[in-house]
Structure 1
Amino acid sequence: MTRKSRRTVPSSDGEVPGRTSVPPLDPSRYAPGPSRPVRAKSRSMDGNMDIQAHFHAWGQLVFSVSGVVRVSTDRATFLVPPSRAVWIPAGLVHAVTAVEQCELRTLYLLDPPSDDGQWLQNRVLEVSPLLRELVVQLARDEVRPGDAVTDREVWIGKLILDEIGRARGLQLGVALPADKRLRRLCEAVLAEPMRHASLDDWAAQVGASARTVSRLFRQELGSSYAQWRQQALLAEALRLAARKTPMGLIAAELGYASASAFSAMVTRTVGMPPSRFFGQS
């Protein structure tokens, strides 16, 4: 059963016309416990579906087998293509938006993979082929009330925890502000990153001056607009790469003069070449 919390995922404009907002699937049906510390569920999402903000009493790992979803908390948003997963610690309010038609897979963990404090925060992880297949299999073997725990289920669960613990963490995710004006601007950039070329134009859209917006970026997010926008562009690049868009076209779409210039930016920002970052190796 989904519980209400004082922490929410704010929305600047309310529900978006043409999109369908739905509650999460009954989480009590998939609650992990001592005998089943790892549970999995699957959900198909149309490109116009939003899962309402909610939270769980256990940790959650979200990734998509196909398509791209967006996971949002009160202070950050993450695009999740098939090669990535987002860790959501227990008690953190989050909402899920389908960027396009996708097949969502979710893991519920009774306890984090380790006692390391990094599991108390959102994390973006690389999804290895083994982890992907293990989760797919666990979700496929749906457990019904009263079913006994099988050896297969235990083995898969242990392997999943081991793979998650080994997964490489990535410093990804786009920070979101609490200020309503800046929040509207940030969400507009995420929706259409190339709509405006300058901060002046974006600021005018929310009825503020570029100077005011620059100050809010520093105060709210601790970065400049240019630094924040670079993370937004990486998120958009992930979405395009998930559609198998060639790297040269991604670079052009995001306004880079050449594929090499775009590649240099990606390598400098995330510490790995685009082929690996976008899962196109």
Structure 2
Amino acid sequence: MKHSADYPLATRPIMGFADAYPAGMRDPPHSHPRSQLTYCSAGVMMIGAAEAVFMLPPRRSIWIPAHLVHEVQCRGPVSAYTLYIDPALDPNPQTARVIEVSDLVRALVFEVGHFHPAYDMEGREGTIASLLLSEIRRMAVTPSDLPMPRDPRLLRVCHALMDDPADQRDLDEWASLAAMGRRTFTRAFRRETGAGLATWRQQVRLMAAIPLIEAGKPVAIVAYEVGYESPSAFTATFHRVFGMPPSAFINQPHDRQA
């Protein structure tokens, strides 16, 4: 595992490297003086930042603004490219976001991730770096974040669901865990997360499903392990959220390894 502190990041507007992370890797809360773009080529990363948890599935990137405290977890093996970018070039410096990645951006990330730290700004490398920054600004943001509440009582519920997405407790039982009445719990949860408990739990279950699908588990088993009553219900929800059924997600061509 490589560390940004090992690289002379300030020598060029954009610097980066390829790396691989083992299953179970946890990088505790930290920040960087530069903006960070991480592209996940294989595996799934979970990034906690700005009172939200972001899921980074394969073939997408996350942009983390400079100085934003964040933490990273890899439940399974992950291959990724991480680029560090002059914060003056960040068009939206306050917001962490997961972005779609075009074939062109993916190819440019691969190239920049293997540049020498002292690459020629006036030559081919500098042209590629400039094109990458221009293309990143054009990429669409995709909803992959899970808002986390501040109230410790609600956090207790959220952490329980994240630890066991298949937990089938009903609304009254979750309200009891939070030591709240049903109506108070419902209103507080929506106020702090922007979603009802059922919608929030659905997102947790889908986040939990992606690493299992990536690991090659049958869709039917994944569906039950993350709490769905039937594979068909899981497949329908997955298709609605990701724009493809789990089978198509599994069969997407994999990138070359970092």
Q: What amino acid maps onto 1:31 in structure 2?
A: L
Q: Counterpart in 2 of 1:96? A: 72
Give distance in 1, aligned partners of 2:141 and 2:14. Answer: 20
Give distance in 2, aligned partners of 1:88 and 1:209. Answer: 37
| Secondary structure, aligned partner of 1:177 | coil
Q: Counterpart in 1 of 2:83? A: 107
| Secondary structure, aligned partner of 2:153 | helix
| Secondary structure, aligned partner of 2:200 | helix
Q: Counterpart in 2 of 1:57? A: 33
Identity %: 33
Does the CA contact (< 8 Å) of 1:83 and 1:278 recur in 2? no
| Secondary structure, aligned partner of 1:188 | helix
| Alignment partner of 1:233 is 2:205 | yes
Q: What amino acid maps onto 2:34 in structure 1?
A: W
Give distance in 2, aligned partners of 1:277 and 1:211. Answer: 40
Give distance in 2, aligned partners of 1:246 and 1:76. Answer: 29
Match among 112, 115, 120 for residue 141 of structure 1: 115
Match among 27, 37, 43 for residue 13 of structure 2: 37
Does the CA contact (< 8 Å) of 1:113 and 1:165 recur in 2? no
- Within 5 A, what are the aligned runs for 1:186-265? 186-203=158-175, 210-265=182-237
Does the CA contact (< 8 Å) of 1:238 and 1:278 recur in 2? no
Q: TM-score by structure 2 length?
A: 0.79
Task: Please report how far the alpha carbon of residue 255 of structure 1 lies from its aligned counterpart in structure 2 after TM superposition.
Answer: 3.9
Does the CA contact (< 8 Å) of 1:75 and 1:177 recur in 2? yes
Q: Counterpart in 2 of 1:170? A: 142
Does the CA contact (< 8 Å) of 1:47 and 1:101 recur in 2? yes
* 90-99 or 248-257, which deviates more: 248-257
- Within 5 A, what are the aligned runs for 1:48-87? 48-87=24-63
Match among 141, 145, 161 for residue 133 of structure 2: 161
Q: Counterpart in 1 of 2:255? A: none
Give distance in 1, aligned partners of 2:203 and 2:120. Answer: 43
| Secondary structure, aligned partner of 1:140 | coil
Give distance in 1, aligned partners of 2:130 and 2:219. Answer: 37
1:15-47 CA distance string (max 9 Å, x none): xxxxxxx9x8244734245xx211112333222
Measured on the aligned residues, the alpha-carbon RMSD in Å equals 3.2
Query: Structure 2 vs 1, CA of residues 109 and 252 (structure 1 numbering), >3 Å: closer, same or farther?
Result: same
1:175-204 CA distance string (max 9 Å, x none): 111122222321231232013443444455
Q: TM-score by structure 1 length?
A: 0.74
The size of the alignment, in residue pairs, is 251
Q: Counterpart in 2 of 1:46? A: 22
Query: Structure 2 vs 1, CA of residues 125 and 242 (structure 1 numbering), >3 Å: closer, same or farther?
Result: farther
Q: Counterpart in 1 of 2:100? A: 126
1:152-188 CA distance string (max 9 Å, x none): 3213313322432333321221011112222232123
Q: What amino acid maps onto 2:141 in structure 1?
A: G
* 101-110 or 241-250, which deviates more: 241-250
Give distance in 2, aligned partners of 1:48 and 1:275. Answer: 24
Task: Please report how far the alpha carbon of residue 70 of structure 1 lies from its aligned counterpart in structure 2 after TM superposition.
Answer: 1.0
Structure 2: where are the runs of 5+ without partners? 253-258
Q: What amino acid maps onto 1:218 in structure 2?
A: R
Give distance in 1, aligned partners of 2:132 and 2:202. Answer: 33
Q: Counterpart in 1 of 2:256? A: none
Q: What amino acid maps onto 1:273 in structure 2?
A: M
* 188-197 or 201-210, which deviates more: 201-210
* 125-134 or 175-184, which deviates more: 125-134
Q: What amino acid maps onto 1:180 in structure 2?
A: P
| Higher normalized contact order (CA 8 Å, seq sep 6+, divided by chain length) | 2
Give distance in 2, aligned partners of 1:208 and 1:223. Answer: 18
